[in-house]
Protein backbone atom coordinates (compact mmCIF):
# COMPACT_ATOMS: atom_id res chain seq x y z
CA UNK A 1 0.00 0.00 0.00
CA UNK A 2 1.19 3.53 -0.81
CA UNK A 3 -0.13 6.81 0.55
CA UNK A 4 -0.34 9.74 -1.85
CA UNK A 5 -0.41 13.38 -0.73
CA UNK A 6 -2.84 15.57 -2.68
CA UNK A 7 -2.38 19.32 -2.26
CA UNK A 8 -4.00 22.56 -3.47
CA UNK A 9 -7.50 21.08 -3.25
CA UNK A 10 -10.56 23.33 -3.55
CA UNK A 11 -12.11 23.96 -0.11
CA UNK A 12 -15.29 22.15 -1.15
CA UNK A 13 -13.52 18.83 -1.90
CA UNK A 14 -14.87 15.77 -0.08
CA UNK A 15 -13.16 12.40 0.43
CA UNK A 16 -15.57 10.86 -2.09
CA UNK A 17 -14.43 13.38 -4.74
CA UNK A 18 -10.81 12.27 -4.26
CA UNK A 19 -11.80 8.62 -4.37
CA UNK A 20 -13.74 9.08 -7.62
CA UNK A 21 -10.92 11.00 -9.34
CA UNK A 22 -8.19 8.54 -8.37
CA UNK A 23 -10.29 5.40 -9.00
CA UNK A 24 -10.16 6.16 -12.74
CA UNK A 25 -6.43 5.33 -12.62
CA UNK A 26 -6.30 2.32 -10.26
CA UNK A 27 -7.57 0.82 -7.02
CA UNK A 28 -8.22 3.26 -4.17
CA UNK A 29 -8.14 1.73 -0.68
CA UNK A 30 -9.15 4.89 1.21
CA UNK A 31 -9.20 8.66 0.92
CA UNK A 32 -9.47 11.54 3.35
CA UNK A 33 -9.48 15.33 3.25
CA UNK A 34 -7.74 16.98 6.20
CA UNK A 35 -9.90 19.46 8.12
CA UNK A 36 -9.19 22.11 10.70
CA UNK A 37 -9.94 20.76 14.20
CA UNK A 38 -11.62 23.96 15.38
CA UNK A 39 -13.64 25.05 12.36
CA UNK A 40 -14.16 21.73 10.55
CA UNK A 41 -13.22 23.42 7.26
CA UNK A 42 -10.94 21.75 4.73
CA UNK A 43 -7.27 22.65 5.01
CA UNK A 44 -6.85 22.24 1.24
CA UNK A 45 -5.04 18.91 1.20
CA UNK A 46 -5.70 15.22 1.68
CA UNK A 47 -4.36 11.70 1.36
CA UNK A 48 -5.30 8.75 -0.84
CA UNK A 49 -4.18 5.21 -0.02
CA UNK A 50 -3.67 3.07 -3.14
CA UNK A 51 -2.07 -0.19 -4.23
CA UNK A 52 1.70 0.11 -4.64
CA UNK A 53 1.37 -1.02 -8.25
CA UNK A 54 -0.92 1.94 -9.08
CA UNK A 55 0.87 4.71 -7.18
CA UNK A 56 3.34 5.88 -9.85
CA UNK A 57 0.68 5.71 -12.55
CA UNK A 58 -1.67 7.87 -10.47
CA UNK A 59 1.03 10.43 -9.69
CA UNK A 60 1.95 10.70 -13.38
CA UNK A 61 -1.70 10.94 -14.46
CA UNK A 62 -2.94 13.45 -11.88
CA UNK A 63 -0.06 15.65 -10.69
CA UNK A 64 -0.57 19.19 -12.03
CA UNK A 65 -4.01 18.47 -13.47
CA UNK A 66 -7.11 20.61 -12.97
CA UNK A 67 -9.35 19.49 -10.11
CA UNK A 68 -12.29 21.75 -9.37
CA UNK A 69 -10.58 24.71 -11.02
CA UNK A 70 -7.22 24.29 -9.25
CA UNK A 71 -3.99 22.59 -10.33
CA UNK A 72 -3.46 19.85 -7.75
CA UNK A 73 -0.16 18.49 -6.46
CA UNK A 74 0.11 14.71 -6.18
CA UNK A 75 3.15 12.91 -4.80
CA UNK A 76 4.06 10.10 -2.46
CA UNK A 77 3.36 11.13 1.13
CA UNK A 78 6.33 11.43 3.43
CA UNK A 79 6.03 9.66 6.77
CA UNK A 80 5.61 11.92 9.77
CA UNK A 81 8.63 12.25 12.03
CA UNK A 82 8.23 11.07 15.62
CA UNK A 83 7.17 13.92 17.87
CA UNK A 84 5.74 16.02 15.05
CA UNK A 85 2.29 17.42 15.78
Task: Provide the pLDDT confidence category of residue 80 given band limits of 50, 70 and 90.
Answer: low
Between CA 13 and CA 7, with CA 18 as vertex, the angle to 5 degrees is 70
In a domain, 82, yes or no: no
In a domain, 36, yes or no: yes
In a domain, 81, yes or no: no
Confidence (pLDDT) at 79? 77
In a domain, 83, yes or no: no
In a domain, 61, yes or no: yes
Tell me how many domains the chain contains: 1
- Is 31:77 a contact under the CB 8 Å cutoff? no
Report DSSP state, residue 8: S
Domain CATH code at residue 44? 3.30.70.330
In a domain, 63, yes or no: yes
- Is 1:52 a contact under the CB 8 Å cutoff? yes
User: Domain range for residue 31?
Assistant: 2-76
Mean pLDDT computed over every residue of the chain: 93
Closest by CA to 3, choosing from 43, 38, 51, is: 51
pLDDT digit string, tens, across residues 55-75:
999 999 999 999 999 999 999
Amino acid sequence: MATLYVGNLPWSTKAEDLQNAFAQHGEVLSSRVITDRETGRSRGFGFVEVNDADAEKMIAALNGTDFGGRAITVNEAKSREAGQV
